[in-house]
Structure 1
Amino acid sequence: MRETVFTYAAPALKFGSGASAEIAFDLSQYAVRRVLLVTDAGVAATGHPARIAEQLSAAGLEVTTYDRVHVEPTDASIEEAVAAARDTGPFDAIVAVGGGSSIDTAKAVNLLTTNDGELSEYLNAPVGEGRVPTRPLLPLVAVPTTTGTGSEATAICVLDVLSLRVKTGISHTRLRPTLAVVDPDLTTTQPAMVTAAAGMDVLCHALESYTARWYSDFDAKSPEQRVPYCGANPIADLWSEKALAMLSGALRIAVRDGAQDSGRPAREQMAMAATFAGLGFGNAGVHLPHANAYPIAGRVRDFRPEGYPDAEPLVPHGMAVSLTAPAAFGFTFEAAPDRHLRAAALLDPTVTTGDGGTLPDVLRTLMRDIGFPSGLAEVGYGEADVDDLVDGTLQQTRLLATAPREAGADDLAGIFRGSMENW
Structure 2
Amino acid sequence: MAAESVFTWAAPPIKFGPGAVDEIGYDVAQLGVRRVLVLTDPGVAATGLPERVVETLRSAGLEAGLFADVHVEPTDVSVKAAIAYAQESDWDGFVAVGGGSSIDTAKAVNLLTSYPADLLDYVNKPIGKGLAPQGPVKPLVAVPTTAGTGAECTAVCIMDFLDLKVKTGISHPRLRPVLAVVDPQVTLSLPPGVTAATGFDILCHALESYTARPYDDYDRKKPEERVAYCGANPISDIWIENTLPMLARSFRTAYSKGDDVAARTDMLQAALFAGMGFGNAGVHIPHACAYPIAGRVPSGYHPADYPADEAMVPHGQAVVLTAPAAFRHTYASNPSRHLRAAQLLDPSVDGPEEDRLPEAIRRLMRDTNSPNGLAAVGYTESDIDDFVDGALKQQRLLTIAPMPVDADVLGAVFRESLTLW
**TM-score above 0.5, yes or no:** yes
Q: Secondary structure in 2 aligned to 1:35?
A: strand
Q: C-alpha displacement at 1:396, in angstroms?
A: 0.2
Whether the 8 Å CA contact 1:341–1:354 is kept in 2: the answer is no
TM-score (norm 1): 0.98
Q: How does 1:90-169 map to 2 (within 5 A)?
A: 90-169=90-169
Whether the 8 Å CA contact 1:142–1:180 is kept in 2: the answer is yes
Q: What per-residue deviation string (whole Å, max 9, x for no partner) do you get for residues 171-230 of structure 1?
A: 000000000000000101111010000000000000000000000001111000000000
Q: Secondary structure in 1 aligned to 2:15?
A: strand
2:277 to 276, 280, 286: 280
Q: Tell me, which stretches of 5 or more residues in structure 2 are unaligned?
A: none
- Equivalents in 1 of 2:350, 2:126: separation in Å? 42
Could you say which residue in structure 2 is the equivalent of 1:361? 359
Q: C-alpha displacement at 1:376, in angstroms?
A: 0.1
Q: Secondary structure in 1 aligned to 2:3?
A: coil
Could you say which residue in structure 2 is the equivalent of 1:76? 77
Q: How does 1:188-199 map to 2 (within 5 A)?
A: 188-199=188-199
Q: Which amino acid aligns with 1:73?
A: P
Could you say which residue in structure 2 is the equivalent of 1:336? 334
Could you say which residue in structure 1 is the equivalent of 2:405? 407
Could you say which residue in structure 2 is the equivalent of 1:53? 54
Q: C-alpha displacement at 1:352, in angstroms?
A: 7.2
Q: Secondary structure in 2 aligned to 1:357?
A: helix
Could you say which residue in structure 1 is the equivalent of 2:236? 236
Could you say which residue in structure 1 is the equivalent of 2:387? 389
Could you say which residue in structure 1 is the equivalent of 2:218? 218
Q: Which amino acid aligns with 1:43?
A: V
Whether the 8 Å CA contact 1:99–1:149 is kept in 2: the answer is yes
- Equivalents in 2 of 1:48, 1:338: separation in Å? 44
Q: Secondary structure in 2 aligned to 1:6?
A: coil
Whether the 8 Å CA contact 1:10–1:279 is kept in 2: the answer is yes
Could you say which residue in structure 2 is the equivalent of 1:420? 418
Q: Secondary structure in 2 aligned to 1:365?
A: helix
Q: C-alpha displacement at 1:135, in angstroms?
A: 2.1
- Equivalents in 1 of 2:92, 2:275: separation in Å? 26
Whether the 8 Å CA contact 2:229–2:279 is kept in 1: the answer is yes
Q: Secondary structure in 1 aligned to 2:181?
A: strand
- Equivalents in 2 of 1:342, 1:396: separation in Å? 27
Q: Secondary structure in 2 aligned to 1:37?
A: strand
Q: Secondary structure in 2 aligned to 1:329?
A: helix
Q: C-alpha displacement at 1:320, in angstroms?
A: 0.1
- Equivalents in 1 of 2:200, 2:167: separation in Å? 18
- Equivalents in 2 of 1:359, 1:133: separation in Å? 39
Q: C-alpha displacement at 1:350, in angstroms?
A: 2.5
Q: What per-residue deviation string (whole Å, max 9, x for no partner) do you get for residues 71-123 of structure 1?
A: 00000100000000001x21111000000000000000000000131111000
Q: C-alpha displacement at 1:387, in angstroms?
A: 0.5
Could you say which residue in structure 2 is the equivalent of 1:296? 293
Whether the 8 Å CA contact 2:140–2:178 is kept in 1: the answer is yes
Whether the 8 Å CA contact 2:349–2:359 is kept in 1: the answer is no
1:376 to 374, 390, 408: 374
Could you say which residue in structure 2 is the equivalent of 1:14? 15
Aligned residue pairs total 419
Q: What per-residue deviation string (whole Å, max 9, x for no partner) do you get for residues 156-183 of structure 1?
A: 0000011100000100000000000000
Q: Secondary structure in 2 aligned to 1:356?
A: helix
Q: C-alpha displacement at 1:235, in angstroms?
A: 0.2
TM-score (norm 2): 0.98
Whether the 8 Å CA contact 1:332–1:405 is kept in 2: the answer is yes
Q: C-alpha displacement at 1:152, in angstroms?
A: 0.2
- Equivalents in 1 of 2:309, 2:229: separation in Å? 34
Could you say which residue in structure 2 is the equivalent of 1:248? 248
Q: C-alpha displacement at 1:346, in angstroms?
A: 0.5
- Equivalents in 2 of 1:252, 1:281: separation in Å? 23
Q: Which amino acid aligns with 2:399?
A: A
- Following superposition, which runs of at least 4 residues in structure 1 exceed 3 angstroms of deviation? 351-354
Q: Tell me, which stretches of 5 or more residues in structure 1 are unaligned?
A: none
| 1:271 corresponds to 2:263 | no
Q: C-alpha displacement at 1:344, in angstroms?
A: 0.2
Q: Secondary structure in 2 aligned to 1:422?
A: coil
Q: Percent same amino acid at aligned positions?
A: 59
Q: C-alpha displacement at 1:231, in angstroms?
A: 0.1
Whether the 8 Å CA contact 1:243–1:273 is kept in 2: the answer is yes
Q: Which amino acid aligns with 1:287?
A: H
- Equivalents in 1 of 2:11, 2:351: separation in Å? 34
Q: What per-residue deviation string (whole Å, max 9, x for no partner) do you get for residues 305-353 of structure 1?
A: 0100112110000000000000000000000100000000000122478
Q: What per-residue deviation string (whole Å, max 9, x for no partner) do you get for residues 125-173 of structure 1?
A: 0000001001211111000000000000000000001110000010000
Could you say which residue in structure 1 is the equivalent of 2:44? 43
Q: Secondary structure in 1 aligned to 2:354?
A: coil
Whether the 8 Å CA contact 2:350–2:356 is kept in 1: the answer is no
Q: C-alpha displacement at 1:55, in angstroms?
A: 1.2
Q: Secondary structure in 1 aligned to 2:418?
A: coil
